[in-house]
Structure 1
Amino acid sequence: MEVFAKSMSADLGDRIIKVNHAGEHGAISIYTGQIFMARLTARALLGELIEFRSHEQRHRAIFGAELQQRGRPRCRSYWLCGLGGFVLGVLTGLFGSTAIAATTVAVERVVLKHLEHQLSILRGHDPAAVAAISAIVAEERQHHDQFAGHLRTGTFWPSVLTPVVSASTEAVIWLGMRL
């Protein structure tokens, strides 16, 4: 029974690492699309967007290295995350700084919830996955908190984008875990 439990937790850890790797690719693509549009609509955010994209590139490398060490291929949702992320980034970047901030806050809120859940179920079962996930949590929180500071309550974009972006992020994670 113990061997079965270890095998299940290793498989779960593998799937989580694969989905997180694809998710980081999606995040890079969101920031890339936002950077592209922010040059026209939100120049004041360019420095933060470029910095945060570099964080996401490092996060993707952490999960990529862990996948390689495990001998696992990337998630089949990898390119879907990239394409969807870029489209989301361009569209929200088109609408300026408040839409960019609302998108980042919505995505990061969902991501942080999933990361905390992943850590709770993998602790004691998959130390390498826990280490990889733990290595990125602080920067993901920084992205959330810093962009939350750009939002004003009662504005249009947060109320429209938050439910759509949150639901889309949840759906991509759900799909990735099943591919």
Structure 2
Amino acid sequence: MEDQTAARDDSVLGSRILKVNHAGEHGAICIYSGQIIAARLTARDMVIELEEFKSHEVRHRAVFWAELQRRGRRRCRSYWLCALGGFVLGLGTGLLGRKAIAATTVAVERVVLRHLEQQLEQLRGKDEAAVAAISSIIEDETQHHDHSAGHLHGGKFWPQVLSPVVAASTEAVIWVGMRA
């Protein structure tokens, strides 16, 4: 009986994490959507890269959605909050130009990658389907972080200004999502 309760608790935690990750991926799609619109004016040379990153996020969202559907779970209540917040963040930082775009991606991905690693630690040996879904996106998220960090060489202003705000906002959305 105790083993069944622990397994159910692990499954509930895995499902909650997957719901938040699904909403977060939707938010990331919206960040890139806003940035793509603005980058057409401020950083044309980044548009193809941003479209590629967005395509990765679309795939990630599909991975989490497929696992949620397999479990019979609905999406997170913070899904549309992530969309709105992501689009506003993307459009705003996109209007500030290439260094702001890159600083935003670095800040978001730093938080996301830390959370993904924590999630894997929590779920390994308890919810292998959730572990597989999370593990399948880490390489792309790392690439987004590292590639965007390469755009910041010599630029300290936007990382110093945006990183704390973007990181705190990302943490807040994750926190809200885990409680929604």
Deviation at 1:106, TM superposition (A): 0.1
Structure 2 spans left out of the alignment, 5+ residues: none
Deviation at 1:7, TM superposition (A): 1.0
Distance 1:150 1:44 in 2: 12
Alignment of 1:27-42 (within 5 A): 27-42=28-43
Distance 1:145 1:18 in 2: 26
Does the residue aligned with 1:74 lie in a helix, a strand or coil? coil
Runs of 4 or more above 3 Å deviation: none
Deviations 1:154-174 (A, max 9, x none): 521110000000000000000
Q: 2:108 corresponds to which residue?
A: 107
Distance 2:105 2:156 in 1: 15
Q: 1:71 corresponds to which residue?
A: 72
**Aligned length, in residue pairs:** 179
Does the residue aligned with 1:72 lie in a helix, a strand or coil? coil
**TM-score normalised to structure 2 length:** 0.98
Distance 1:154 1:40 in 2: 20
Alpha-carbon contact 2:99-2:155 (below 8 Å) kept: no
- Alignment of 1:140 with 2:146, yes or no, is no
How many percent of aligned residue pairs carry the same amino acid? 70
Deviation at 1:152, TM superposition (A): 2.5
Match of 1:108, as an amino acid?
E
Alignment of 1:21-100 (within 5 A): 21-100=22-101
